[in-house]
Amino acid sequence: MPHPVPDGRTVVRALVALKLRLLRNGLRRSPGRTAVYVIGGIVGLAFASGIAVAMAALNGRFAGSADAGVMLLGVLTLGWAALPLFLFSSDESADPTRLTMLPLRPGPLLRGSLLAALIGPGPLINLVLVTGAVLAGADGGVSAAVAVVGVPLTVLCLVTLSRAVAAGNARMLSSRRGKDFAIFGGLSFALLIQAANVGSQSVFGRPGQDIDLGPLKPIAAVLRWIPPISAADAPHTAAEGRYGLALLQLAAAGLLLALLLRWWRGSLRELMVTADSSTLEVARGVQRSGGWSFLPAGRAGAVMQRHLRYAWREPRAKAALFTSIGMTAVICVLSMVQGWASVYLLAMTGTFLGLQMLNLFGMDGSAFWMVAATLRTPADARDELRGRAYAVLSYAVPVTVVLGLALAAVTGGWGELPAALGLAFALLGCGVALGTVFSVLVPYTMPADSNPMRNAAPGQGGLVMLNSFGSMFGVALLALPVGGYLGWALLSDGPSWPVLLIGPLYGALVAVLGVRMAAARLLERAPEILAKAVER
């Protein structure tokens, strides 16, 4: 007997109540989570209020204040359109595939999802920012009347845009490839933030400099006619006496809202009546030869292959790897723009990539029992750790060399490149050694899901902090002999090129000692590591 289809009002009320319950239950998990959520919401609201007050203060004092408001609206629009693409898995209420098996019609599901999306600190902070952008260009009673329509319409368009993008790409974003895309999207967003930071300094100046809004005018002249930005700029247009154009801007935003709602409704209907194409594909066997023939024979080669597959297929492992490379790239680009770039920034690459050895067994999860069951002799333990170290070095060394060449080409520091590479390889070897030891002595539990934005299970914060900050301090301490010699050579005009020979040899020696020390403890600590790995 088919299930009865609930009426529209019941569905809307249920979805709104579900969003409120999700918020409440999320806050009840732990006092720490509640404190972080509340403090984060207050700080975010205070920050948004500060921006809104600053935008309002520009009105009447600078000729291009309305242009600054338009630029802020452009950033908000880009953020609301892009955030679902790499924060999709962190918001359970944004995933419509969780409701596809329920007997729901697209219309009530759309209305309920839209009302639920308007609940929470995000839309409230967005409302404050949009209001501040409008105040930057509004003036007079007619402008205020238009703002009463334009501000809610803009907020509604932004929220609808975010949910329509999420629904239109739901199956892609919930897949492994979607999580890979989220990683690259997050790194791209970080680069955009740094670019915006540099651009804002050129417009607003550094402390003590005058604000020049002139460069914003040509960009704002185009953006103000693009919905939903047009709805928030309509009060400024009305303040200039162009009432017909103001109505046209509001109508353009209304048309965009109708199109977004139609797209969202169509995506929901397709999700509810169409099977996921990934379930219709025939499983294919895994290629076991060919590309892996270069790996060493024996257990070390098999472990190396497994670790490299994890680094490419596991979203959390890929997030950690590309975040390390991305952080170095962002800092290097920022240093080039601001004029303090140096080839010795390569030391960060060696440190970050070497610390990819941290918590080696947490990513295995419950599958670590198969590893533990085969650790019979000290040689097995050494091969297990050696294989994982070889896997990290197989991509860390080429990445370090490529970034070193890029930095030398941009900065012109070809003469300093050998010493910088030697120091980076010394730090890389120290990171491998310390990461291996910490993985055996201080393991921590990874979450059961594969969300790339979560790297530790609840209650593991102390161990994560110990691993992260303790390892970075330890790597710097272990590499002190090489760094000390390089510092002496630079200060006394001595030869720095021997670091290219000393650094790799020293790093390799420390890495070998670290692997041997960790292997000696791995056999006796395997049961404890297994308990941590399966704890969720």
Q: Can you say how many angstroms the Cα of residue 314 is from the centroid of all Cα atoms in its chain?
A: 15
In the DSSP assignment, the letter for residue 532 is H
Q: Is the pLDDT of residue 6 over 80?
A: no
pLDDT, tens only, 271-286: 777 655 544 443 344 3
b/e map 503-523, b = 16+ CB within 10 Å: bbebbbebbbebbbbbbeebb
Q: Is the pLDDT of residue 427 over 80?
A: yes
* Cα within 13 Å of Cα(139), Cβ side: 15
Q: Is 209 helix (H, G, I), strand (E, B) or coil?
A: coil
Question: Which of 45-54, 182-191, 198-207, 455-464 holds the top average pLDDT?
Answer: 45-54
Q: For a pLDDT cut of 70, what percent of the chain falls above it? A: 76
Specify the higher pLDDT residue, 79 or 437: 437
346 neighbors 423 (Cβ within 8 angstroms):
yes
The pLDDT of residue 95: 67
Confidence of residue 322 (pLDDT cuts 50, 70, 90): confident
pLDDT, tens only, 155-200: 999 999 988 888 877 666 665 555 555 555 555 555 565 555 555 5
What Cα–Cα distance (Å) separates residue 336 from each residue in 147, 403, 411?
42, 13, 8
Q: Is the pLDDT of residue 478 over 60?
A: yes
Q: Is the pLDDT of residue 316 over 60?
A: yes
b/e map 223-250, b = 16+ CB within 10 Å: bbebbbbbbbbbbbbbbeeeeebbeebb
Residue 295's CB: how many other CB atoms inside 10 A?
A: 18
Mean pLDDT over the full length of the chain: 79
Q: How far apart are CA 490 and CA 484, in angstroms?
A: 10
Phi, psi of 136 (to 5 degrees): -65, -20
392 neighbors 354 (Cβ within 8 angstroms):
yes
Q: How far apart are CA 353 and CA 326, in angstroms?
A: 11
pLDDT, tens only, 389-400: 999 999 999 999
393 neighbors 308 (Cβ within 8 angstroms):
no
Q: How far apart are CA 397 and CA 376, in angstroms?
A: 31
The number of residues in the chain equals 536
The pLDDT of residue 447: 62
Provide the token pair at 468.
């992260």
* Cα within 13 Å of Cα(263), Cβ side: 17
Q: Amino acid identity of 197?
A: N
pLDDT, tens only, 48-60: 999 999 888 888 7
Q: How far apart are CA 397 and CA 404, in angstroms?
A: 11
49 neighbors 135 (Cβ within 8 angstroms):
no
Which stretch of 115-124, 196-205, 215-224, 322-331 has the lowest confidence by average pLDDT? Answer: 196-205
Question: Which of 73-87, 302-316, 470-484 holds the top average pLDDT?
Answer: 470-484
522 neighbors 442 (Cβ within 8 angstroms):
no
Burial class (CB within 10 angstroms; exposed 0-12, middle 13-18, buried 19+) of 399: middle
**SS3 per-residue string spanning 452-489:** CCCCCCCCCHHHHHHHHHHHHHHHHHHCHHHHHHHHHH
The pLDDT of residue 269: 82
Q: Is the pLDDT of residue 151 over 60?
A: yes
pLDDT, tens only, 11-35: 888 888 888 887 787 677 667 667 7
Beta carbons within 8 Å of 358's beta carbon, 6+ residues apart: 435, 438, 439, 467, 468, 471
**Could you identify the residue written with the tokens 């403090």?**
39
Which stretch of 8-12, 66-70, 300-304, 417-421 has the lowest confidence by average pLDDT? Answer: 8-12
For residues 199-215, average pLDDT: 55
For residues 51-78, average pLDDT: 85
Beta carbons within 8 Å of 382's beta carbon, 6+ residues apart: 515, 516, 519
346 neighbors 421 (Cβ within 8 angstroms):
yes
**Could you identify the residue written with the tokens 């490529």?**
402
The pLDDT of residue 241: 86
The radius of gyration computed from the CA coordinates of the chain, to the nearest angstrom, equals: 28
Q: How far apart are CA 366 and CA 98, in angstroms?
A: 26
121-135 and 229-239 are packed helices; what angle lies between their axes, rounded to 10 degrees? 30
Confidence of residue 454 (pLDDT cuts 50, 70, 90): low
The pLDDT of residue 157: 93
**DSSP calls for 92-138:** GGG-GGGGTTS---HHHHHHHHHHHHT-SHHHHHHHHHHHHHHHTT-
334 neighbors 198 (Cβ within 8 angstroms):
yes
Q: Is the pLDDT of residue 492 over 60?
A: yes
In the DSSP assignment, the letter for residue 337 is H
Helix (H) or strand (E) holding 346: helix 346-354
Residue 363's CB: how many other CB atoms inside 10 A?
A: 18
Specify the higher pLDDT residue, 418 or 216: 418
Nearest to 482 by CA among 499, 463, 467: 499
pTM of model > 0.75: no
Residue 469's CB: how many other CB atoms inside 10 A?
A: 10
